Amino acid sequence: MTGLALSPQVFAILSALIEEKTGLHYDLDDAPLLADKLVPRVVERGLDSLLDYYYFLRYDPASDAEVAQLVEALVVNETYFFRELAPLENVVQSCVPELLRAGVRPRIWCAACATGEEPLTLAMLLDAAGLLEEVTLVASDISTRALARAREGVYFRRSLRALKPEAVGRWLTPLEKGMQVESRLTNAIDFRRVNLIDEAQVRALGQFDIVLCRNVLIYFSDATVQTVIAALTRALTPNGRLIVGASESLLRFTSGLVCEERAGSFYYCKRTT
Ligand SMILES: C[S@@+](CC[C@H](N)C(=O)[O-])C[C@H]1O[C@@H](n2cnc3c(N)ncnc32)[C@H](O)[C@@H]1O
């Protein structure tokens, strides 16, 4: 069907609409990849063309539900336990004790948590240090499906590939296939659906001493990264710290944050003056 071919013109309006709703940025080179994700949605909706799909997303009163479905098709939920571990260890060994000594109950937000492996790794490290009950943990993602999996706490090989052997038996119980995370850990995390480009949703979460926003900025344009970083900066307490992914330097942007190195990990600290 010719309507299911993604012409440069239709790519331009559809990719702009997707970016407006989700922050996800696609270059023209990504058009075949995007078409692979969009065409099944067009077919499922019973529409004849990608252009009709665009009009549906843009103008139909039922479009919010379809955008939510589309998000599930587009997002990359790739993550695993103990990924990029050093900054998490540093949070537990250095930042959290520092806040506790200052009489603060640390509030930590994992801002694109996918299926939950990252906040659960943090919960394991906090538990091992006897600090799990001393902190408030919030974890969010745009994907409702990923959050449902996070709350369920059942994980398979891909998520377990860098698992520390000592975690098994202590926080994870082997199942016939995969592993179940102890409910004490999943219950210690407040999982919420938050679209990072929706400033009102970010604001509603309140303020945090530490925000982890790792391996999601790579999917956004520079302009969107700056908007998201501004919203995350507003969500930080004075002297609060933002941690991004190992490949996601913010140094090329001007922001209200100062980069600081601690034990080989980089933090972006909120400027107080
Ligand atoms: C590759 S995963 C990163 C997971 C984890 N932070 C890590 O580093 O292992 C990227 C996540 O970002 C989420 N995401 C993409 N766009 C988002 C948005 N606009 N708001 C919130 N989450 C978003 C995706 O659903 C996906 O779960």
89-106 average pLDDT score: 97
Distance CA 138, CA 159 (A): 20
pLDDT at residue 2, rounded to an integer: 59
Read off the pLDDT of residues 185-219 as tens digits, 9 standing for 90 and up.
999 999 999 999 999 999 999 999 999 999 999 99
Residues of the chain above pLDDT 70, percent: 99
Instruction: Check residues 256 and 124 and name the one with the higher pLDDT.
Output: 124
Reported confidence tier of residue 1, pLDDT bands at 50, 70, 90: low
Question: How many degrees, rounded to 5, is the angle at CA 262 between CA 217 and CA 268?
Answer: 35
Average pLDDT, the chain: 95
pLDDT at residue 252, rounded to an integer: 87
Residue with tokens 């013109």: 9
pLDDT greater than 90 at residue 262: no
Tell me the Ramachandran region of residue 106: left when phi exceeds 0, alpha when psi lies from -120 to 50, beta otherwise: beta
61-84 average pLDDT score: 96
Residue with tokens 């103990």: 82
pLDDT greater than 70 at residue 271: yes
- CA-wise closest residue to 113 among 86, 67, 149, 87: 149
Q: Which atom of ligand 1 is nearest to the CA of 110?
A: 6
75 ligand 1 Cβ < 6 A: yes
| 199 to 181, 232, 238: CA distances (angstroms) | 32, 9, 19
pLDDT at residue 255, rounded to an integer: 80
Q: Which amino acid is at 236?
A: L
- CA-wise closest residue to 262 among 126, 98, 81, 83: 98
- CA-wise closest residue to 210 among 194, 187, 232: 232
pLDDT greater than 80 at residue 32: yes
Reported confidence tier of residue 174, pLDDT bands at 50, 70, 90: very high
Three-state DSSP class for residue 258: strand
The two three-digit tokens of residue 226, written as one number: 């700056």
Residues of the chain above pLDDT 90, percent: 92
pTM of the model: 0.96
* Share of the chain residues as helix, strand and coil, in percent rounded to the nearest 5: 50, 20, 30
pLDDT at residue 4, rounded to an integer: 84
Distance CA 28, CA 14 (A): 11
Contact (Cβ atoms closer than 8 angstroms) between residue 143 and residue 71: yes
Reported confidence tier of residue 5, pLDDT bands at 50, 70, 90: confident
23 ligand 1 Cβ < 6 A: yes
22 ligand 1 Cβ < 6 A: yes
The two three-digit tokens of residue 242, written as one number: 């933002």
pLDDT greater than 70 at residue 148: yes
Ligand 1: distance of its center to the CA of 195 in Å? Answer: 10
Instruction: Check residues 175 and 253 and name the one with the higher pLDDT.
Output: 175
141-161 average pLDDT score: 98
Cβ neighbours of residue 61 under 8 Å, at least 6 residues apart? none
- CA-wise closest residue to 88 among 125, 113, 56: 125
Residue from 19, 21, 82, 141 to probe ligand 1 pocket by mutation (most atoms less than 8 Å from CB): 141
Query: Quick one: CA dihedral 193, 196, 200, 205, positive or negative?
Result: positive
